[in-house]
Amino acid sequence: MNLPAPNQWTRRLIILLVLGVLAAACGGGSGFEESGGGDQAEGGGGATGGSDGGDAGVSLQLMGFSSSPAEDQELSKIIDGYNEQSSNTAEFNPVPDYATTLQASLAGGEPPDVFYVNDNQIPDLATANTLAPAEGNIDNPDDFYPNLKEAFTFEGTWYCPPKDFSTLALQYNTQLLSDAGVEPPTNWDELRAAAQKLTKGDVVGLVLGPEYFRWGVFNEQAGGGLTNDDLTEMTAAAPPNVEAFDYLEQMYQQGTAAEPSDLQAGWAGEAFGQGKAAMTIEGNWMVAAMRDGYPDLKWETAELPEGPAGKGTFSFSVCYAVPQGAKNPDASWDLVNYLVSSEQMLAFTKQFPVMPSRPSLRDQWLEANPDLKAFLDSAEYARSPAWVPGFQAVLDQLNSGIQGIAAGNKQPQQVLEETQQTGQSVLGG
């Protein structure tokens, strides 16, 4: 090595270089925040210019997911309406892989101003102390379906107003039913008979996804359920649940009911749309899915058949939540209030066959969607599936068991007893 000893200059150069790299790295970081702040200042500035004096608006981000470009468009229209009448500027940001993105942004301490939350995530998010309570921030808080409001309430605190909701109902292929001379079934016996009659050739009577969010409606109709109402005791292995699962197992074994994968379909709607199954149990999303994928299919929807204990179904909902420690809580709630106001909710749900979560909009929505009455009528007795933090593991276990029953290698009794045990350790511990 014949390198000359580094003189003062080279040494300084090296130090400068290192400092430069470090400065660049740090500078990048702080530059980020500055630009974020800059945006806000800009939004505020623009708004002060346009609105009534001192009320400086802020920019708000609404994070959510979107099922279709059409839904994006419709929501963007409503957001544009908000931006026109408010000093705030809101923006809708649909993200892929929503649950993971939301979790990361909450953990990172910089959550969006308003975001969607699924009803079954409320227990986990509420326990983690991430959501601001909604009480007092929403106009007409009593004009929501009680079971939906209940779904977004955890340990006595109501966290967020439901955006809209869907219920599970029975869809049937009108052509196949009239060919076989079958009326839409209204109780379990009729459902079994109808499925039997409709099963011939390549067609199966009923296609049903092997998961609790489908099978569970039969438990409801039998008067069962996974837990008691206080969520303190598991009731999974109780007789009504066994009865419901036995009923379904029989249909699968007779071949009058099938999993979507048995029919080479990704989900029940696909098998139904392709005419491989005469009936299925799905929610409001079927409307858009059938319209886009199988526009020629003739189908109708009816309330689910009654079980031994009467009617029962599930409803699924999403709410607009504001994070705990939001930067601009007032502005965030202002946006939420606008989005769940009767006028905007109706405008949004009319176009999409999801249903308004405010009962007062019932008749207006029905006028626009008369053929979807069954979905809305189901709301009267629907239950929102939400349990306690950590319950997802129990559902995973149960779903795995349900797959086993459908495939014919597990017994209902055994599956429900395993679920009972697993669940009790989650509820108890």
Partner 1 sequence: MNELRRRIGQSEALSGWAFTAPVLIGLAVFLLFPIFMALYISFTDWNGISPPFQAELIGLQNYKDLLVNPGISRLDFAISVRNNLYYVLGVVPLQTSISFVLAVIVNQKFLRGKSFFRSAYYFPSITSSVAISLIFLFLFTQNGAVNKFLSVFIPGDLDVNWLFNANGVIHNALGVIGIETAPGFLATHGFLGQSWWEWLAGPSVALLSIMILATWTTIGTLMLIFLAGLQNIPVELEEASQIDGASRLQHFFRVTLPLMKPTLFFVLTVGIIGSWQVFDQVFVISKGAPQKTTITLAYLVYREGFTNFSMGRATAVAFILFVIIVIFTLVQRRFVNPDEV
Please report the DSSP string for 83-122 in residue order: HHHSSSEEEEEE-SSHHHHHHHHHHTT---SEEEEEGGGH
Q: Is 273 in the site for partner 1 (CB under 8 A)?
A: no
User: Are 245 and 403 within 8 A, CB to CB?
Assistant: no
Q: From residue 71 to residue 110, what is the string marking binding to partner 1 with x (rule CB under 8 A)?
A: ----------------------------xx--x--xx-x-
Q: Which is nearer to partner 1, 123 or 307 (CB)?
A: 123
Q: Is 425 in the site for partner 1 (CB under 8 A)?
A: yes
Please give the helix or strand (H or E) that residue 397 lies within, else none. helix 392-407
Stretch that binds partner 1, among 4-12, 30-38, 79-87, 153-161 (CB under 8 A): 4-12
Of 52, 346, 300, the C-alpha closest to 173 is: 300
How many alpha carbons fall within 13 Å on the CB side of residue 404? Answer: 15
What's the start-to-end Cα distance of the chain, in Å? 68
Q: Which is nearer to partner 1, 82 or 252 (CB)?
A: 252
Among 17, 23, 26, 41, binds partner 1 (CB under 8 A): 17
Among 15, 26, 70, 368, binds partner 1 (CB under 8 A): 15
By CB under 8 A, what part of segment 242-271 binds partner 1?
259, 261-262, 264
- Residue 26: CB atoms within 10 A of its CB come to 10
Burial class, 231, CB count within 10 angstroms (exposed 0-12 / middle 13-18 / buried 19+): middle
User: Are 326 and 88 within 8 A, CB to CB?
Assistant: no
Q: Which is nearer to partner 1, 91 or 124 (CB)?
A: 124
Contacts with partner 1: how many residues (CB under 8 A)?
A: 45
CB of 150 to partner 1, least distance (A): 21
Please give the distance of CA 279 from its chain centroid, rounded to a whole number: 23
How far is 287 from 2, CA to CA, in rounded Å? 79
Q: Is 426 in the site for partner 1 (CB under 8 A)?
A: yes
Q: Is 2 in the site for partner 1 (CB under 8 A)?
A: no
CB of 2 to partner 1, least distance (A): 13
Look up residue 118 and give its amino acid: N
Of 184, 415, 408, the C-alpha closest to 279 is: 184
CB of 100 to partner 1, least distance (A): 5
Of 49, 53, 118, 134, the C-alpha closest to 89 is: 49
Among 46, 223, 275, 389, binds partner 1 (CB under 8 A): 389
How far is 208 from 257, CA to CA, in rounded Å? 7
Q: Which is nearer to partner 1, 302 or 427 (CB)?
A: 427
- Reading phi first (left if > 0) and then psi (alpha if -120 to 50, else beta), residue 310 is in left
CB of 31 to partner 1, least distance (A): 18
CB of 287 to partner 1, least distance (A): 26
Give the chain's radius of gyration (CA, Å).
26
Q: Which is nearer to partner 1, 341 or 400 (CB)?
A: 400
Q: Which is nearer to partner 1, 54 or 266 (CB)?
A: 266
CB of 313 to partner 1, least distance (A): 24
Stretch that binds partner 1, among 8-16, 172-180, 314-322, 348-356 (CB under 8 A): 8-16
Q: Which is nearer to partner 1, 182 or 426 (CB)?
A: 426
By CB under 8 A, what part of segment 392-421 binds partner 1?
392-394, 396-397, 399-401, 403-404, 407, 409-410
Paired with 207 in beta bridges are 258, 280
Q: From residue 103 to residue 142, what is the string marking binding to partner 1 with x (rule CB under 8 A)?
A: x--xx-x--------------xx-xxxx------------
Q: Is 30 in the site for partner 1 (CB under 8 A)?
A: no
CB of 174 to partner 1, least distance (A): 28
User: Are 46 and 89 within 8 A, CB to CB?
Assistant: yes
How far is 308 from 222, CA to CA, in rounded Å? 5
Say which residues have a Cβ less than 8 Å from residue 82's Cβ, sequence separation at least 6. 88, 90, 335, 338, 339
Q: Applying CB under 8 A, which residues contact partner 1?
A: 5-6, 10-11, 14-15, 17-18, 21-22, 25, 99-100, 103, 106-107, 109, 124-125, 127-130, 259, 261-262, 264, 389-390, 392-394, 396-397, 399-401, 403-404, 407, 409-410, 422, 425-426
